[in-house]
Amino acid sequence: MGVEPESTLRSFVRAEQAGMDAIELDLHLSKDGALVVMHDAEVDRTTDGRGAIADLTLAELRGLDAGQGERVPLFEEVLDAVKSPLQAEIKDAAAARALAAVMHRRDLTGRVEVSSFHDEAVAEISSLVPGVRTVLIASRYGNDVVDRARAVGAPTLALNIRRLTLETVERAHAAGLRVIGWVVNTQDHLRLVRALELDGATTDYPEIRRTGRFTA
């Protein structure tokens, strides 16, 4: 998020207060199996620490400064801090299994939509949590991305706005899929969202919310 320390409780609360339709976050597993929220696989860019999340324990992660005194949050802390719908991005099957356990325990199928760049992770969460809503994300892709989404049962595609074409959108819509553009942080990209008649967009700036439907 572009106006608060990234992937912190403050950022998610700010997004909710701005009226986002949903809040997007990224999940990783710590060395000891805790489901934590951070965009990168390493802590270097957004904290005062160094190293891969997978090589650090939860205690070590909690000791880092994630910006302005904020710390790396657990997924369940975000669930408790905000009431908005969430879109949770998972990086692999291991994270899918950890997320599935939380979703079953807290009955989150109606609140949490699960996304991933990895087809196998989308398929894994779908098998573990019947009825879960899923999103296949893609940055570099061709028209086969529609077939990939259908193959893993994802009803929504989240596609890089810089590569998105009308042909891809029309093919996805013809297949009954929703299409979300990311990342929409400029007015030019916002105009493209409208011109392509997308079903939504992801942004780092909640203030853009007043001009469309977004996740942050």
Q: Which residues of the chain, if any, have pLDDT below 50? A: 1
Per residue in 118-161, pLDDT tens? 999 999 999 999 999 999 999 999 989 999 999 999 999 999 99
Output b/e per residue, 103-112; b: 16+ Cβ within 10 A. beeeebeeeb
For 27, phi and psi rounded to 5 degrees? -115, 140
Residue with tokens 């001009």: 211
